[in-house]
Amino acid sequence: PTRAEITYFGAGPAALPTDVLETAAQALLDYNGTGLGIAEHSHRSELATNIINEAKADLASYLDIPTGDYEVVFMQAGGTGEFSAAVYNLVGAWVARQHAAIVSELGGDKADEAAVVAALRARVESDLKLDYIVTGGWSLKAYQEAVRLLGPEYVNLAADARTINDGKFGKIPDQSTWKLSKDAALVYYCDNETVDGVEFPEFPSVLAPRADGSGPIVVADMSSNILSRRVPVENFSLIFFGAQKNLGSTGVTVAVVRKSLLPPVTSQPSPALLRKLGLPIPPIILQYETIARNNSLYNTLSIFDVYIAGQVLKKLLRTYPDKVDGQQAVSEKKANIIYAALEAHPEVYRIVPDKSARSRMNICFRVIKNGNIDEAEKTFLKEATAQGLTGLKGHRSVGGIRASNYNSIPLEGAEKLARFIDAFAKA
């Protein structure tokens, strides 16, 4: 089939807009009449810096990121690398705060260094906690990474969605049941669980900042729903996402970091101190302050991937004068059309997550005909593919069908899928 005949519902990498790819293909051969392609130019060149700065500015504009308080960095860690980066950076920030407090308690400049380290060590052992809200496979992986890096004694499973849903993901535990620690180094959640089709309907109010501006240090993985709805950025200390679903191509990851968490490396806990405290030392490439200080160019960055992300953002800004609110309305409409088609045939389709936590981005369902799931799903996939509706197979860990309804799926694509869902049920 040709590109034009296909609507690709894969979970990531996702389809990219064809006009963006055409522009990028030309840029790969010859960027702006320089005779050299965008992937060949130095990442230290002025044109590379311009591409980074424009993409940052367009992202900030589209999402209304308050750039006075937040730094946007491009990295190559992937979402998985950010699971580790979140731990390293926010444990570092927590230790730095405790260190400063203990030094002042023990007499400021005159404080005895050995006494400071001993007190800090005791405080780490008694108070260091990272809270994880686990609502699906990705937040589970992030939680497991924190346990792997720090040891289980420092990591608090504040909520586990499986405990309220027969051992499976599909619901978000009521916020009143979350067991949040006092002054946690971070509270982590995944805004949209790509595998399980579970999305937070809105920012969890229990994590909202207090009137005096203080509040929990909130970290969110928005890999699979960023750019699809408005985000109250100022409620977060860190938001991260890989580009490969709603932003661009595989190979670049974005972190939006609160600037107050980026003290100069010289005032962060030194490797020697972390060693004494028995805490892990961050790889330099995962240190947000280092990357931010170098405008994302501490080491070689794929400028081509940043360029594609930049072109996607320019297209979004052209398409939606009201920026992300415009895309949000379309995303909701597309999701509603698909869910409505499924709900119209309860005898054939079973939507996996609870209605209160249904994702607009990853629509997960089972197909049952004549009492047979496996056969029905095989036939569903085969017939959908024949009609150009591809990439619908669910994640290998959970099976079923998953329609990933990212920004690059046009309204007509969602409508076509809904018509197919209806026709398949009736056939």
Residue nearest to ligand PLP (CB): 79
Count interface residues toward ligand PLP (CB under 6 A): 11
x-or-dash string of contact with ligand PLP, 154-193, rule CB under 6 A: ------------------------------------x---
> Could you tell me the CA-to-CA distances from 149 to 134, 138, 256 in Å, in that order?
18, 17, 22
Q: Retrieve residue 292's tokens.
A: 């931010």
x-or-dash string of contact with ligand PLP, 198-227, rule CB under 6 A: -----------------------x-xx---
- With CB under 6 A as the contact rule, the residue among 138, 189, 200, 380 that binds ligand PLP is 138
CB of 135 to ligand PLP, least distance (A): 11
CB of 266 to ligand PLP, least distance (A): 31
Binding positions for ligand PLP, 22-81, rule CB under 6 A: 78-80
CB < 8 Å & 24+ apart, contacts of 65-69: 65/233, 65/256, 66/233, 66/234, 68/259, 69/234, 69/258, 69/259, 69/260
Residue 242 or 310 with smaller CB distance to ligand PLP: 242
**Is residue 249 within the footprint of ligand PLP (CB under 6 A)?**
no
**Is residue 144 within the footprint of ligand PLP (CB under 6 A)?**
no
Q: Retrieve residue 190's tokens.
A: 């995944």
| CA-wise closest residue to 66 among 283, 276, 236 | 236
Residue 203 or 320 with smaller CB distance to ligand PLP: 203
Residue 223 or 249 with smaller CB distance to ligand PLP: 223
Alpha carbon distance 330, 412 (integer Å): 11
Alpha carbon distance 238, 85 (integer Å): 10
CB of 302 to ligand PLP, least distance (A): 13
**Is residue 194 within the footprint of ligand PLP (CB under 6 A)?**
yes
Sorted by sequence, the CB contacts under 8 Å of residue 259 that are 6+ apart come out as 68, 69, 70, 71
CA atoms within 13 A on the CB side of 214: 4
> Could you tell me the CA-to-CA distances from 24 to 267, 274, 314, 388 in Å, in that order?
41, 44, 13, 25
Residue 194 or 405 with smaller CB distance to ligand PLP: 194
- Residues forming contacts to ligand PLP in the complex (CB under 6 A) are 12, 78-80, 138, 190, 194, 221, 223-224, 242
